[in-house]
A = this chain, B = another copy of it.
Amino acid sequence: MGGGLTQSVHILIDGQEQDQVPALDRAIQYGDGLFETIRIVEGRPCQWQRHLDRLSIGAERLGIPLPDVALWVAEAAELIQGQSDGVLKLILTRGEGGRGYRPPDHPKIRRLVLVYPPPNTPDPWQQGVGVRYCQTPAAINPALAGIKHLNRLDSVLARAEWDEPGIAEGLMFDATGVLVGGTMTNVFLWDGARLLTPPVDRAGIAGTVRGLTLELAARMGVECLVTRLDLEALDQVQGLFLTNSLIGVWPVRELAGRRFDLTRLPWALINRIHQTAFTPG
C-alpha cells in the first residue's frame, strides 16, 4: 500500500525530494502544525493568496514561524510541473522537539509540499450531491477554531461514519447541537431570500471558498448572514450548498433522505463561486 500511495504522490520536504519525516517531529507527536489543500487547474494553484493568508493567520495563532513564502511557492511550482490537474498540499510543522508539550524556544520548522492526483468529483457537479448527518461532534475550541491545523480527528471520525458512495459529505454539529459544517466543507443554507452560514469562532475552519463566497455574495447583492444555526434551522431551508477548495461548490440534492428542488438555489452566485474557485492564480 505504502509504495502504491507514494508513487502517485510527489513530495518535497524542506526543498528535498524525500518522503520521510523524523519521528520526533511535533506534527507526529501532537499534530503541532498547519496545512492547506489547494486545487491545481491548468498546472497552476487556484486561490493561492487566500491559502497563503490563512496559513499565515494559523502560524501567527499557533506561534509557528512562517517559512519564506516565495521559496515555498517556487517549490510548489517545481513539483506541479507537468501536472495540469491535481491537488497541492502544504504542511507546516513546528519541527522536532524534546518530550513534552512545551514548544521549543527556537523551532526549526519543517515545510512539506505534496502533489496528489485530482479529487473524484461528481460530474456534472450542478446535479448536486447526497449528504447525511454525522454523530461525531466537532471539537469546540475558540483558540483553534477557524485555522487549518493538524488536529483533525473529529473530521476523521465523522468521515468514518459512512461508506455509501452516494453520500458525498456529512454535516457536523458541536456537542451543544450547533451546526459547524461538513467534515471537509463549509455549509451555506438558502432560506429563499438569504444565505446563512455558521461562524467559525468556536469550531470549524474558515474555508478559502467560504471567504470567496462571502465576498462574491456581497458583491452580487445576495445577503449572507453569519450566525449560529441548529438542526431546526436546517429543517426550514429551501436548499443548501457546500464549499471547499478542491470541490469548489456542491449544491445539495438530498440531505438525510430529504430531497431539495435545486432550481430554488441562487444559481447566479453558485456559478460564479464555481468559476472563481477554479481560476488559477
What residues on B are CB-neighbors of A99 within 8 Å?
9, 37, 87, 89, 116, 119
**Minimum C-beta distance from A4 to chain B (A):** 10
Interface size on A, residues (CB 8 A): 71
Contact with B along A49-63 (1 / 0, CB 8 A): 000000000000011
Q: Could you give, for residues 27-43 of chain A, a 1 whenever the CB lies within 8 Å of some chain B CB and a 0 otherwise? A: 11111100101000000
Given contacts A96-B5, A150-B31, contact A101 B156 (CB under 8 A): yes
Number of copies: 2
A115-142 interface bits toward B, Cβ cutoff 8 Å, 1 = contact, 0 = none: 0100100000000000000001111111
A221 in the interface (beta carbon within 8 A): no
Cα–Cα distance between A150 and B20 once the two chains are bound (Å): 19
Give every chain B residue within 8 A of A32 (Cβ-Cβ).
152-153, 156
Closest to A20 in B: B20
Q: Give the top 8 A-B pairs by smallest Cβ distance, nearest first.
A: A31-B31, A151-B151, A20-B20, A101-B159, A140-B140, A30-B152, A139-B141, A139-B139
What are 25 inter-chain pairs, A to B, with CB distance below 8 A?
A1-B108, A2-B22, A6-B22, A13-B23, A19-B23, A19-B24, A20-B21, A21-B28, A30-B150, A30-B151, A31-B151, A31-B153, A62-B156, A101-B152, A101-B159, A101-B184, A102-B156, A102-B160, A103-B160, A138-B141, A143-B154, A144-B154, A150-B153, A151-B152, A151-B153
